[in-house]
Amino acid sequence: MPERALEMKERTLLLIKPDGVDRRLVGIILARIERKGYHIVAMRMEKIDFETAEKHYAVHRNEPFYDKLIKYITSGRLVAAVVSGEGCIGGLRYIMGGTDPLEAAPGTIRGDYATNVTMNLVHGSDTPEAAEREIALFFPDLPE
């Protein structure tokens, strides 16, 4: 597919969280996304700092689980990726499954592999606005 065609489609941020990296599920997760027909247009592995984590999860700042979430996401390496494709924001969230793995449907990433609501393997942007903000946070030099 021509590079220009990928630029015209919706984009979203995928994070494979530290438990996904530690449990060596990165390949399985990426394969599911690619089999759906989505494209990985940028990717890197890193350990994020507290400042980045706080910016990323700012929307949850007043939630009782916020400190636990920040501690967890900064506890090890994660994989950040930009995923592109028609309807990929909703489609990726469908593939990921519900936030609580005990309620996530079988056949979804969380339903099949996640162990608890905090260590739930993946994050995907929930709106186009969040995707734009999150992509800029993790990939500031990526052209729009």
Paired with 38 in beta bridges are none
Taken as a whole, the chain contains a residue count of 144
Active site residue 39: no
**Do residues 83 and 38 lie in contact, with contact meaning Cβ atoms separated by under 8 Å?**
yes
- From the number of C-beta atoms within 10 Å of its C-beta (0-12, 13-18, 19+), residue 131 rates as buried
Within 10 angstroms of residue 10's Cβ, the number of other Cβ atoms is 17
Q: How far apart are CA 27 and CA 114, in angstroms?
A: 15
Annotate 50-64 with b (16+ C-beta within 10 A) or e (fewer).
Answer: eebbbebbeeeeeee
Catalytic residue among 39, 56, 60, 123: 123
Paired with 62 in beta bridges are none
Give the active site residues: 123
